[in-house]
Structure 1
Amino acid sequence: MLSLDRFRFVFSRIKERLWIKPLIVCVLSVGGTFIAMLADDAGLSRLLPEVSQGSVESLLSIMASSMLVIATFAVGSMVAAYASASTGATPRSLPLVIADDVTQNALSVFIGAFIFSIVSLIAVKNDLFDSAGLFAIFVLTLLVFTLVIVTFVRWVDRIARLGRVVNIIEKAENAAADALDRRRHAPTLGALAVSSQQAHSKGILVSSPRVGYVQHIDLETLQSCAETFNCQVVVIAVPGTFVSAGRPLLRIEGHLEGCNAFKPDAFSSAFTVRSNRAFEDDPRLGLLALSEIADKALSPGINDPGTAINVIGTLVRLLTLWQSPLESDRLAEIIYDRVAVPELVIDDLFDDAFTAIARDGAAMVEVSIRLQKAFCALAEAGDPAMTAAARKHSRMALARSERAMLLPDDIDAVRRVAYRLIN
């Protein structure tokens, strides 16, 4: 059976498909035309006012011609926004832009209205409706017109900001915050934590039949397999890990019962491996995407240190969220007692977030100072591991700035901020 966590992951993937919502709306549009025929069978002709067939045909003709133009315009605007998101920010942000609900709803309404008008116009011209059916189609047409107008107004406001860097930073922050919040309340995804003994133990390694990134792990499947063979499973490749024949997915420990029936595919099938990473179960991807946005802004061709400074503040918020107090009612229980999953390491989060910015912004005094202030703020969170990571990256960022900057006054300004933390 499909577990709740697996359903969440699959539903997120479906949201990234542009054709799903338009298809659903098209089916509803066609169904609305046939539902209008029920008004004739219900004997409502005497109760409802009469509407001329010519007026209904005119409305449907206007809608059919206008909706095709608007739908074509919507697709062109969306493609331009997607191209802007890839070139102006980072290609990793494209799934977030495609999954925008307002844009998908707008495209679905425009295409659905076009299909509704075509099907209804054909039905009206072929005299498939009596007076009650014509009135029902007339009312439905007015409702569709209203829906199109409201959707168009909302969509124009959204499409104007969809591909902009500020909007993409907000979407990447929200995606990273959701993944971090979910992971900090379930640091081992509901499984056991990998002990120091398990980290160096031996067992049967299971590799992926595909080469790519782990997007999701179905721990319920791993638990079921481990119970079947009476063994323990240690996950090696968490979501976001690149796997190949030399980089195994997991290690099986303990005595395997029924070894003759043992099939590694039963274990590897719990891992969803694709060519790209996914935001939902990979908190590091959100930090990496934000870091890439800042890094591109620091390139000589763009030269926008303000965006990099904005991203640094966003990264501080996310890492502060990582160490914020946990909500006891949301803490995940250990329900997979035969599976062990490694926890996220704060050093890896800092590497994904700050390494590229510190490297390519080392020569800019305003970026370097803001970066050092960010490390000082994170060190004050009260977590020893985060403080150690902040001091480490503060020293490395200072060393890069001392090598990259030419003006002694700029170097001294960065040193004064950095020495608050590293001394």
Structure 2
Amino acid sequence: MFTPRKIADNYREMISSIGFYPSMLSVVFLVFGLITTAVEYSSLSMEFKKLIGVLLVDSEENARTILSTLAGSIISLTVFSFSMVMVVLNSASASLSPRVLPGLITRKSHQLVLGFYLGSIIYTILMLINIRTIGDGDMGIPSLGIFFSLVFGLISLGFFVYFIHSISKAIQVDNVLNDLFKNTKGELKCIIEMQHENPVENFPEFDDWHSIKSKTEGYFKGTHTDKLCALCQEHGIKIYISVKQGFFTVKGYPFLKCDTDLTDKPELVEQLLGCFIFYIEEYIRDHYRYGMTQISEIAVKAMSPGINDPGTAVKAIDMLSILLILRLDIYDVNYSLKRCENNQPHLFIHETSFDELLHDNFTPIRNYAKNDAYVMVNVLEAFKNILFRASDNEKATNSLFVYLGAIIEDIDTHISNEYDREQITNMLKAIARISEQQGEKLLAKFTSNQ
């Protein structure tokens, strides 16, 4: 049975597939080939072919040779290109993070190149089978179609050069990090701009709202916002999503709250639950925290003994610090303004808190890099920069110092070299200059054990 949720899930899986755009382009080339074949011998086409006669093939043998060569050559390019994609995905999974694979697979430029290859092959083969006898022993040569096949072959060569250049850049860790950072920063800025342009001064007390239990299990990734807000407006209700995006829900878990008791409206509850999206992959366009998680995992992977690239880890840490600074400008409760009246939203969303982001992104780095003084000094510097920008946010400042206490405890246990400890002491002194009272306590705690 095809429910709206199942149809939506299948649609999302289809458009996220590496074969989606190649399939669409193949159909386009097939249709174009049929159109070319249909108009090949029309009077208008014959007049056009006279104008470009020097570029057309007039021999059956030459036509078959050219088309066969083109088809075989483009098939070779396609096989090599698909092989390159698989190598890149395998390398990215091994040296970066498996979570970056969905972003690489859905890169449209690569899919369009592969689709052009497949479409060119289909078009060329269609022209090849249209070389036929048309009467009195004369051969019908689709010279216009062969001309287009030659053009597509030359374009395919250009695309092949572009593809090799692009795929070689796609696997470079700096480019991957820069793309993740740019996309994550863009998602954060979109939320900041929306909340600053349309601020909500007073949020409801969600604790008093009525719970709605999940009827499925999986990773909550988002909502069909238009449909959900339309339902809320139609029935005069408000919804609060009480879990963060990416949270794993099980059947019966109360992940929603409503300002109205819907116990006697099971059909409406079913419609509301049908607006929520559950799947495994993590795309930055769904939520900025997925981008931060991928950056953090690249930093952890860089610190593994097989890779041992502390420079990449430090770059990732610096990017995380900038993204956390941007997070300071977002409310702890997000909302949608679709179909709202008088700036009163119908949909409220639990935003991933600053504490959760600190824990989720820096704990793996802290655990895997606690023996590396160079990386830990840069972690402290990242926290110093965040503290500088969070000086007027008491809650965030307290969270940062609590977490700094955990970092110092690990450093104190695993780093004993006097020179390294001196560098860490200097960084703690710089932190103390930003927040004297809490910074001095942290410094005293570290130096007392020397």
Q: Same fold (TM over 0.5)?
A: yes
Q: Within 5 Å, give how 1:117-132 maps onto structure 2.
A: 117-125=124-132
Q: Distance in 2 between matches of 1:65 and 1:332?
A: 53
Q: Does the 8 Å contact 1:181/1:322 carry over to 2?
A: no
Distance 1:192 1:340, change over 3 A: farther
Partner SS, residue 88 of structure 2: helix
Q: Distance in 1 between matches of 2:190 and 2:13?
A: 17
Q: Distance in 2 between matches of 1:204 and 1:387?
A: 33
* Alignment-derived partner of residue 23 in structure 1: 23
Q: Within 5 Å, give how 1:57-96 maps onto structure 2.
A: 57-96=64-103
Distance 1:321 1:251, change over 3 A: closer
Deviations 1:315-366 (A, max 9, x none): 233234445799xxxx974644333223342222222332211221111111
* Alignment-derived partner of residue 58 in structure 2: 52
* Alignment-derived partner of residue 270 in structure 1: 275
Q: CA deviation at 1:188?
A: 11
User: Which residue type is aligned with residue 424 of structure 2?
Assistant: V
Q: Does the 8 Å contact 1:316/1:374 carry over to 2?
A: yes
* Alignment-derived partner of residue 226 in structure 1: 232
Q: Distance in 2 between matches of 1:179 and 1:26?
A: 33
Q: CA deviation at 1:255?
A: 4.8
Distance 1:117 1:404, change over 3 A: same
TM-score by length of 1: 0.85
Q: CA deviation at 1:156?
A: 0.8
TM-score by length of 2: 0.81
Specify every segment of 5 or more residues in structure 2 that has no aligned partner in the other structure, as ranges: 1-8, 432-438, 441-450
User: Which residue type is aligned with residue 107 of structure 1?
Assistant: L
Higher relative contact order, chain-length normalized (CA < 8 Å, sep 6+): 1
Q: Does the 8 Å contact 1:190/1:332 carry over to 2?
A: no
* Alignment-derived partner of residue 361 in structure 1: 369
Q: CA deviation at 1:302?
A: 2.4
Larger radius of gyration: 2
Distance 1:241 1:190, change over 3 A: farther
Distance 1:159 1:324, change over 3 A: same
Residue in structure 2 matching 1:175, options 183, 197, 201: 183
User: Which residue type is aligned with residue 112 of structure 1?
Assistant: G
* Alignment-derived partner of residue 6 in structure 1: none
Residue in structure 2 matching 1:243, options 243, 249, 253: 249
Q: CA deviation at 1:115?
A: 1.3
Q: CA deviation at 1:154?
A: 0.5
User: Which residue type is aligned with residue 338 of structure 1?
Assistant: H
Q: Distance in 2 between matches of 1:126 and 1:250?
A: 70
RMSD between aligned alpha carbons? Answer: 3.3
Q: Does the 8 Å contact 1:213/1:242 carry over to 2?
A: yes
Q: Does the 8 Å contact 1:57/1:125 carry over to 2?
A: no
Q: Distance in 2 between matches of 1:190 and 1:12?
A: 30
Partner SS, residue 40 of structure 1: coil
1:304 aligns with 2:314: no
1:105 aligns with 2:115: no
Q: CA deviation at 1:81?
A: 0.7
Q: Within 5 Å, give how 1:328-407 maps onto structure 2.
A: 333=337, 335-336=339-340, 337-382=345-390, 383-384=392-393, 385-407=395-417
Q: Does the 8 Å contact 1:359/1:397 carry over to 2?
A: no
Paired residues in the alignment total 408
**219-228 vs 294-303, which deviates more?**
219-228
* Alignment-derived partner of residue 151 in structure 1: 159
Partner SS, residue 237 of structure 1: coil
* Alignment-derived partner of residue 419 in structure 1: 429
Q: Distance in 2 between matches of 1:91 and 1:405?
A: 31
Q: Does the 8 Å contact 2:192/2:330 carry over to 1?
A: no
Q: Does the 8 Å contact 1:376/1:390 carry over to 2?
A: no
User: Which residue type is aligned with residue 205 of structure 1?
Assistant: I
Q: Distance in 1 between matches of 2:165 and 2:199?
A: 44
Q: Does the 8 Å contact 1:36/1:133 carry over to 2?
A: no
Q: Within 5 Å, give how 1:187-198 maps onto structure 2.
A: 195=203, 197-198=205-206
Partner SS, residue 214 of structure 1: strand
Deviations 1:138-182 (A, max 9, x none): 331232022102111110111223333333223322332233223
Q: Distance in 2 between matches of 1:332 and 1:229?
A: 17
* Alignment-derived partner of residue 5 in structure 1: none
Q: Distance in 2 between matches of 1:334 and 1:117?
A: 48
